[in-house]
Amino acid sequence: MRVYMVRHGESEGNAKRLIYGWQDYELTEKGEEDARRCAAQLATAGFERCYTSELRRAWHTAKICTEGRGVPVVRLRALNEQFMGEYEGKPFAEFLQERGEEAERMLEDWSQAVLPGGESFGGVYRRVASAAEEIRAFGRDVLVAAHNGSLSALCAHLLGLGEEGAMCFNFEHGRVSLLECPERGRPWIEYLNR
């Protein structure tokens, strides 16, 4: 089984340099171009289902990547990005100014960051692990269009690296990655951020 992974294209929240996870921003024009580039790259990929988060930026990316293919697109809340609590939708500069040294430490290791009223990365990992098992149970090639946090958790879970292993990954906007999950034996990363 092949798991193709695409981080959504640039969103309005990215362009405005905001902190956000569940805040629901649309793709920018550049973000739509990012998604079209991924669709072209995936043109010969034989995935039979697409999983995406409930958030518009990921869903819109998924729709562009599956256009004209007759592939069902399944929205899973478990694939949503990390919830940033009180900082949802606030400028990144404001976060740095208000949190100071704590912000710097958080940026070095986001797995330890829990913003006021927000979700821990452990929470993200546990919910994404349930989605990973649903995806694995499908048993055929899939596309997953989601977010850096949820894709990192998905990849770490499928590779058997656990929650800490998720910090090894960084999925770039509008790039395709591929994880090979054989029926027997250990899975491996074929490529990241193409």
Q: Which residues are catalytic?
A: 8, 81
> Closest by alpha carbon to 176, among 30, 26, 74, 39?
39
> Closest by alpha carbon to 77, among 62, 57, 55?
55
Please tell me the chain's helix, strand, coil percentages from 3-state DSSP, rounded to the nearest 5. Answer: 45, 20, 35
3-class secondary-structure state, position 130: helix
Measured distance CA(81)–CA(27) in Å, rounded: 15
Measured distance CA(60)–CA(165) in Å, rounded: 28
Measured distance CA(113)–CA(121) in Å, rounded: 7
